[in-house]
């Protein structure tokens, strides 16, 4: 067996191994870890941060008709930007890629802070999305070049946990600025943090790419179809009053199928070619990530259920909405210590537990919920987060370890964020359809949303089984 073949075998065989040491926050690596975590949390918290501020923004500058496009523009830009991560690293190196991401996010945040109309604010959000999409993907992709292999799993857990931290911090921090009537200051603070992290990245990250390959041309066909799919899925809730939301969902789903068809045949692609290679586990990693991320979208509805069905104040309803993220973040502190056998078991245990937690949340709904019932809601949501946190770091390392080739490893890791964003867009639109079918009955809407998410999570058992089989064959 050649040395190269041996390396590839070792990379595949170690993809889901746990372990690592405790040096991630040592003096040698704390700045790199802070940049990876900080870039991810800037993006993750922004999803919730802006939602909390929007009522104040609309009250100040108007533009209620464009309310939905504040999220839509950001999401579409982030989806497209996240697909460009590997190419940006190849062209500019880790340092240059992070500088582009932080600069785009800072400029978008600064523009948001001075926007005088909703049209300008939406444009600023698109620029923010470009920077944020890069940062979200770089958090996974740069681990390989910024840190030694012994720290990959811990770093992947840290980056993954930032999505949960963002969900915990974003609503409360945005609510504080909104309560103070200081939404412009809120975006100025975001710009300042992005600038600070950008300066740190100049000193701490590798200056050159870890590959000498010439960057691939942009996959224009794939990006065009993907953007169309994201746009169609994102506007579906807006078309619900006209009865066209189902059509938008169908078009989005067809475009996603077309995206996969284009990707499987194109020379230059968004997803790694390994994802379409027979026998490679990467495709199953992405499918499992997508089904697990579906459960996260219940957080967009939990505060509403908490206020209208549980009688909670907005503050306590917001805390309830963060219960899943709390479970996700906390469990990752434990799951990084899983050995190979436990990590493999989590591949089917996680989607199973997530499905049970979502179904339980639906069964617990009632028109007037008692404190005990609300506590049971919180427990069900925390368990859903525990399910995601149990496996997510191992999926991240699994993607990074599918190939001994550094460039392919970076592309595989970066595509995790693309997969997450696509899942969020698709599931968000589906939840709108589920809720609309309740015809105004909030209990029925909560049940339909929960049971729908349980079904999607249950599908994740299939890729989990395939990953276990791949891991066993690699030994």
Distance between CA 252 and CA 232 in Å, rounded? 5
Least Cα distance to 199 among 84, 25, 49, 34 occurs for 34
Least Cα distance to 289 among 386, 164, 166, 419 occurs for 419
Distance between CA 370 and CA 376 in Å, rounded? 10
Phi, psi of 341 (to 5 degrees): -65, -45
Cα dist. 140→146, 159, 256, 278, 397 in Å?
Answer: 11, 7, 24, 24, 9
12: which 2 tokens?
């595949």
Distance between CA 351 and CA 357 in Å, rounded? 10
Distance between CA 282 and CA 85 in Å, rounded? 18
Q: Quick check: pTM over 0.85?
A: no
Least Cα distance to 335 among 395, 400, 409 occurs for 395
Alpha helices in 180-313 (DSSP H): 183-204, 220-235, 245-265, 282-296, 302-308
How high is the pLDDT of residue 406? Answer: 64
Query: What is the residue-wise DSSP string for 186-198?
Result: HHHHHHHHHHHHH
Alpha helices in 22-84 (DSSP H): 30-61, 67-82
Least Cα distance to 152 among 261, 250, 14 occurs for 14
Which residue in this structure is represented by tokens 């600025």?
Answer: 177
How high is the pLDDT of residue 313? Answer: 74
309: which 2 tokens?
């069905």
Cα dist. 376→251, 349, 383 in Å?
Answer: 38, 21, 11
The parts of the chain modelled with pLDDT lower than 50 are: 1-21, 210-212
First-to-last C-alpha distance (Å) of the chain: 16
Burial class (CB in 10 A: 0-12, 13-18, 19+), 174: buried
Which tens digit of pLDDT belongs to each residue from 201-238? 888 787 665 444 555 677 788 888 877 887 787 677 67
Distance between CA 259 and CA 270 in Å, rounded? 10
- Give Dmax over CA atoms of the chain in angstroms: 68
Contact criterion met (CB below 8 Å) for 332 and 393: yes
Query: What is the residue-wise DSSP string for 407-445?
Result: HHHHHHHHHHHHHHHHHHHHHHHHHHHHHHTTTT-HHHH
444: which 2 tokens?
């029925």
Distance between CA 83 and CA 222 in Å, rounded? 10
91: which 2 tokens?
């062209």
């Amino acid at each position: 067996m050649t040395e190269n073949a041996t390396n590839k075998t070792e990379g595949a065989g170690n993809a889901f191994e746990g372990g690592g040491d405790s040096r991630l926050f040592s003096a040698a690596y704390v700045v790199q870890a802070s940049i990876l975590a900080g870039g991810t949390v800037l993006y993750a918290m922004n999803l919730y941060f802006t939602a909390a501020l929007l009522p104040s923004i609309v009250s100040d500058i108007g533009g209620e008709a464009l309310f939905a496009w504040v999220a839509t523009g950001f999401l579409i830009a982030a989806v497209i930007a996240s697909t460009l991560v590997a190419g940006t690293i190849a062209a500019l190196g880790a340092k240059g890629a992070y500088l582009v991401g932080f600069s785009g996010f800072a400029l978008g945040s600064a523009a948001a802070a001075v926007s005088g109309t909703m049209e300008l604010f939406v444009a600023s959000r698109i620029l923010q999305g470009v920077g944020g999409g890069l940062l979200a993907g770089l958090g996974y992709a740069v681990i390989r070049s910024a840190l030694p292999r012994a720290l990959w799993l811990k770093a992947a857990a840290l980056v993954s946990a930032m999505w949960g931290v963002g969900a915990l911090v974003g609503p409360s921090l945005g609510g504080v600025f909104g309560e103070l009537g200081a939404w412009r200051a809120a975006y100025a603070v975001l710009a300042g943090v992005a600038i600070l992290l950008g300066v740190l990245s100049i000193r701490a990250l590798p200056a050159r790419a870890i590959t000498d390959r010439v960057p691939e041309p942009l996959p224009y066909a794939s990006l065009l179809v993907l953007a169309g799919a994201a746009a169609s899925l994102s506007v579906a809730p807006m078309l619900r009053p006209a009865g066209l939301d189902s059509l938008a969902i169908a078009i989005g789903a067809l475009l996603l199928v077309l995206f996969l068809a284009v990707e499987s045949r194109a020379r230059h692609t968004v997803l790694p070619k390994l994802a379409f290679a027979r026998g490679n586990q990467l495709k199953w990693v992405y499918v499992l990530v997508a089904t697990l991320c579906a459960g996260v979208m219940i957080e967009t509805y939990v505060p509403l259920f908490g206020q209208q069905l549980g009688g909670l104040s907005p503050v306590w309803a917001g805390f309830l909405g963060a219960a899943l993220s709390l479970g996700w973040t906390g469990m990752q502190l434990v799951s990084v210590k899983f050995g190979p056998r436990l990590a493999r078991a989590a591949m089917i245990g996680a989607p199973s537990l997530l499905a049970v937690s979502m179904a339980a949340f639906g069964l617990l709904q009632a028109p007037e919920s008692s404190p005990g019932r609300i506590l049971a809601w919180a427990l069900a949501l925390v368990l859903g987060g525990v399910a995601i946190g149990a496996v997510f770091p191992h999926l991240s390392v699994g993607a990074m370890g599918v190939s001994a080739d550094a460039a392919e490893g970076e592309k595989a890791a970066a595509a995790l964020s693309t997969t997450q964003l696509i899942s969020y867009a698709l599931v968000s639109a589906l939840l709108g359809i589920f809720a609309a079918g309740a015809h105004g009955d909030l209990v029925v809407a909560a049940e339909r949303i929960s049971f729908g998410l349980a079904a999607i999570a249950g599908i994740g058992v299939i890729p989990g089984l395939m990953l276990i089989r791949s891991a066993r064959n690699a030994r």
